[in-house]
Chain A
């Protein structure tokens, strides 16, 4: 598996980040998704890492020899997918501060 993909394979499709760029950050000592995201912008696009997060974790695991389970994940928060500011403005919240169901 290790060398099947060439370096210019796009890992993050939203931000156009290649495997070579990810590898360069890992070589600089970046071994968490949070750092990778902040420095390379990978996972920062519209899909918020739904495609590339696993690929980056794999890449970190391959290069550092760490098991995937030991690679620190970012925090998961609402919204689960993109929602317009207008839709949120038109929404009502219940007493607990959660969106009221229709």
Chain B
């Protein structure tokens, strides 16, 4: 391991690897990634693998459309020797209350104004897209064909391979134990494998971003929360798109391999770093999904697991610097949608750190941590 670097990134998930790649691609010579386990071992590798552009805030819409464009060209752009398996089968979002219908109308208007050609649908039109959807209690839906599914392990690996070729040093199984601060500025990082001196540390530690911030004495308003998920045996393709309900707080998609991946948000989940799996989740998930998509009751669950959402008060990420500690950069608080916006996050964080221009840099400045003190929140209404 090097003992000196221009930038040290903490976290070998998709966000950390994307930032590292964009830094070296834009001329930064000396970047190190520190990861306590293996690449994509945390939230990235545990996520639902969905890619969505139908968001309810301008910031999330822009971050996700830019990222989607990157994913469309990623195998070639990063000269990946594998396949990131990007499949744009669409997302069908379903509404069950007047309030949700109103929100969906607003969302579609916003999305359309930003170039996202989502459509507002009647229950019958929704059923044409997903014939096995139970539309009895359904009031409306929205659909966008360019949303879809992508392989989080391979996206991370593609960024990591490309970053390594450009000289990034990736240290897996290396635990950060402290951050060296002098006169309110970052001077280095302590790890169980030795010390690295640096003036810039990026906190991209996902579900553990709060623990890293604490090491630097930086107060952040975000917290971690367990989200559980399951996968079924693979079957022939019969559901082309993601089905997502904010009412039931569930999502369910058939992966390109044929298995169904589904998860739900539990409003009673405490703030913690706990990632144990429970029977309660299996039961709750099975109850909801067999009511929404009845034929799925014949599919066998083969595995369940859990991961952490790192939640901010407005469910929108925290990006960039803080006046609490010079040289401490943040790419955290993705609130469950870090994977799908990691490509743009990497572009913007690299431009910001290197002082370069980028047409979307206003997003990063807007999502600075200062927004909470100023009360400029961007509450994302559409999160599962």
What residues of chain A lie closer than 8 Å to B154, measured between beta carbons? 39
Is there contact, CB below 8 Å, between B277 and A46? Answer: no
Scoring B234, B277, B282, B299 by chain A CB atoms within 10 A of each residue's CB, the highest score goes to B282
The closest CB in chain A to the CB of B276 belongs to A77
- Residue A1 CB within 8 A of the other chain: no
Complex Cα distance, B300 from A89, in Å, reads 12
Say yes or no: B302 contacts A48, CB within 8 Å.
Answer: yes
Contact A38 to B287, CB < 8 A, known contacts A78-B282, A82-B300, A98-B279: no
Residue A73, interface by CB 8 Å? no
CA distance A79 to B38 in the complex (A): 25
B303 part of interface (Cβ distance < 8 Å):
yes
Does B278 touch A at the CB level, under 8 Å?
A: yes
Among A41, A79, A91, max chain B CB count under 10 A is at A79
CB contacts under 8 Å to A, within B37-51, are: 38-41, 45
- Nearest chain A residue, comparing its CB with the CB of B161: A28
Tell whether, in the assembled complex, residue A77 and residue B298 are in contact, meaning their CB atoms are under 8 Å apart. Answer: no
Q: Within the complex, what minimum Cβ distance (angstroms) separates A24 from chain B?
A: 10
Q: How far does the Cβ of B301 sit from chain A's closest Cβ, in whole Å? A: 6
Query: How many Å lie between the Cα of A46 and that of B234 in the bound state?
Result: 7
Interface size on B, residues (CB 8 A): 34
Complex Cα distance, B260 from A85, in Å, reads 11
B371 on the interface (CB 8 Å rule)?
no
Q: Is B157 an interface residue (CB 8 A)?
A: yes
Tell me which residues from 232 to 267 in chain B have a Cβ below 8 Å from any Cβ of chain A.
Answer: 232-234, 257
The tally of residues in A whose CB lies under 8 Å from a CB in B reads 26
Q: Which of B233, B279, B286, B302 contacts A97 (CB 8 A)?
A: B279
- Distance in angstroms between the alpha carbons of A45 and B280 in the assembled complex: 24
- Asked whether A35 is an interface residue with its Cβ less than 8 Å from the other chain, the reply is yes
Once A46-B233, A85-B299 are accepted as A-B contacts, the answer to whether A34 and B283 lie under 8 Å apart by CB is no
The answer to whether A46 touches B300 (Cβ under 8 A) is: yes
Is B114 interfacial (CB 8 A cutoff)? no
Separation of A41 and B246 alpha carbons in the complex (Å): 30
Chain B contacts for A83, CB-based, 8 A = 300-301
A4 interface residue (CB < 8 Å to B): no
Q: Which of B157, B279, B296, B303 contacts A99 (CB 8 A)?
A: B279
A35: chain B residues within 8 A (beta carbon): 38-39
B277–A34 contact, CB under 8 A? Answer: no
Q: Report A-chain residues with C-beta under 8 Å of the C-beta of B365.
A: none
Q: Are B303 and A48 in contact (CB under 8 A)?
A: yes
A91–B301 Cα distance when bound, in Å, is 14
Q: Which residues of B are at the interface with A, using a C-beta cutoff of 8 A?
A: 38-41, 45, 82, 153-154, 157, 232-234, 257, 277-280, 282-283, 285-287, 289-290, 296-305
